[in-house]
Amino acid sequence: MDFEESISQVAAKVRDLKGGVETEEATKNAFILPFIGQVLGYDVFNPNEVIPEFTADVGLKKGEKVDYALVRDGKVQILIECKKVSCPLSLENASQLYRYFAVTDARIAVLTNGQVWNFYMDIDEPNRMDSKPFLVLDLLDADPTVFPALQKLTKPDFDLDSIASSAEELKYVGPLKRAIGEEFKDPSPDFVKLLAGHVYEGAFYASVMEKFQPLVAKALKQFLSDQVNDRLKTALGADDVKAGVTSTALDDAAGAASVDEDDGEDDGEDGGDGARDGVVTTEEELDAYHIIKAIACSNVDPSRITLRDAKAYCAIFLDDNNRKPIARLYFNTKQKYLGLFGEDKQCERVPIETLDGIYAYADRIRQEVDRVI
């Protein structure tokens, strides 16, 4: 299992089980220990690697415990303080981490509720844990750009010097991206004034602000639309729609039984030369394919997204390999359905009224792309 796949698996567990987890201990067992084991690569059953209820006397504080200490090369490298999954994370939850950080060899401290993982260092002042994390990972809204830094914190690839050299940049780039996102959604007065200053030279009265607020919001939306259109042009440029069943697909069919057995329908395969009697790929199916391709191109080279039509549905794969399904299009009836896959490779049909309804499932499409890459 590769690194990103291990993150996806733990994220899927959080997404599926979060609603039924009500205590801190349940959070540890369901989400935190799997993350320590599968993502960070530590043996959770080896007390020489993962020390639960780690104790270090701190001044007058005796017998205080932090939930886990991760040990590498005989030294405590990472301290982890846990909260239940429904508990928002705040500095008030990190008091033990502050104290333990100063009296152990650990340079990395983690505050987590199983879904959100806040990683801290001592960037601002040596041997004193920063008040803001340098890396934030929300498993239900993961930013893939932090994965390389996170991988440096795993047991096999632990590289404290490299993390320390990039931690300050990591600490501020993430919040800056989120701030930019907020400005794009709802421009603040300061941001409106900043941008308007490039095109308006007069005094910036309240009436001018009122005039420019919607103009800036419109300009930002058009800018984003232009960026998306550029990506779409790239995505739609490849000639990769597969008509019928290729010989490669026939070779793959035996290994893909778990993907196809949920329908029990005639998919147009005749088991021999790949002929497709009466199968026509409609313009609507091609348009839907292009939408899915555009959604997926944020996670994978769009040239790898392919379509193969059959009688019962259009199948969309990665690398034209039906062991790597991304979605299906059931457009042969009055009610259109989009077929979506989960970890069990079973296809769930969800009704859509128009092709724009596909966008509502963009996150699930990208998650499936990440699973099959």
Is 50 exceeded by the pLDDT of residue 246?
Answer: no
Is 50 exceeded by the pLDDT of residue 355?
Answer: yes
Is 90 exceeded by the pLDDT of residue 24?
Answer: yes
Strand pairing partners for 330? 337
- 205-241 confidence digits (pLDDT tens): 888 898 898 898 888 888 877 777 666 666 555 444 4
User: What confidence score (pLDDT) does residue 58 get?
Assistant: 56
**107 contact partners, CB below 8 Å, separation of at least 6:** 77, 121, 122, 160, 164
C-alpha distances out from residue 365 to 56, 72, 248, Å: 46, 37, 24
Helix (H) or strand (E) holding 322: strand 321-330
User: What confidence score (pLDDT) does residue 120 get?
Assistant: 93
The number of beta carbons lying within 10 Å of the beta carbon of residue 344 is 9
Integer Cα distance of 214 and 207 in angstroms: 12
Residue 373's pLDDT band, with cuts at 50, 70 and 90, is: confident
User: What confidence score (pLDDT) does residue 265 get?
Assistant: 44
Helix (H) or strand (E) holding 4: helix 3-17
Integer Cα distance of 84 and 105 in angstroms: 27
Residue 34's pLDDT band, with cuts at 50, 70 and 90, is: very high
Quote the DSSP letter at residue 61: B
| CATH of segment(s) 3-180 | 3.90.1570.30
Integer Cα distance of 30 and 18 in angstroms: 9
User: What confidence score (pLDDT) does residue 365 get?
Assistant: 94
Is 50 exceeded by the pLDDT of residue 130?
Answer: yes
Among 35, 106, 12, 77, which residue's Cα sits nearest to residue 364? 12
Strands (E), 235-295: 241-242
What's the mean pLDDT when you consider all of the chain? Answer: 82
Integer Cα distance of 312 and 37 in angstroms: 42
Integer Cα distance of 274 and 266 in angstroms: 13
Residue 250's pLDDT band, with cuts at 50, 70 and 90, is: very low
